Amino acid sequence: MPDVYYVRPSNFLSDSRDKTIIQGDSEDDVLQKVYDYLRSPEARLRYPAVEDPTELENNIRKCIFVKGNKVFGTRAPQEH
């Protein structure tokens, strides 16, 4: 099964009301879809300070995750 990459624009733009999830087949695919989203009229109204989305490339790449690969059990066992 191929990996599905995703990003939530609210993670790197700090708007908790934005529930958009952008998915793609690779990180570069997701990155291009985020650029397209941030250039859309809807995103322009929500994020007027973003003039050039390519300036956010590093922030966006840090927030791209692979679906279904969360790490569980990272806490140390509790001592009784």
Provide the residue ranges of all domains of the chain, joining segments of one domain with +.
5-66
In sequence order, what are the residues at sequence separation of 6 or more whose Cβ sits closer than 8 angstroms to the Cβ of residue 11? 63
What pLDDT band is residue 69 in, cutting at 50, 70 and 90?
Answer: low
Query: What is the reported pTM?
Result: 0.78
Residue 44: the pLDDT is 93
What confidence tens digit (pLDDT) does each residue in 11-35 have?
Answer: 999 888 889 999 999 999 999 999 9
In sequence order, what are the residues at sequence separation of 6 or more whose Cβ sits closer than 8 angstroms to the Cβ of residue 33? 22, 23, 24
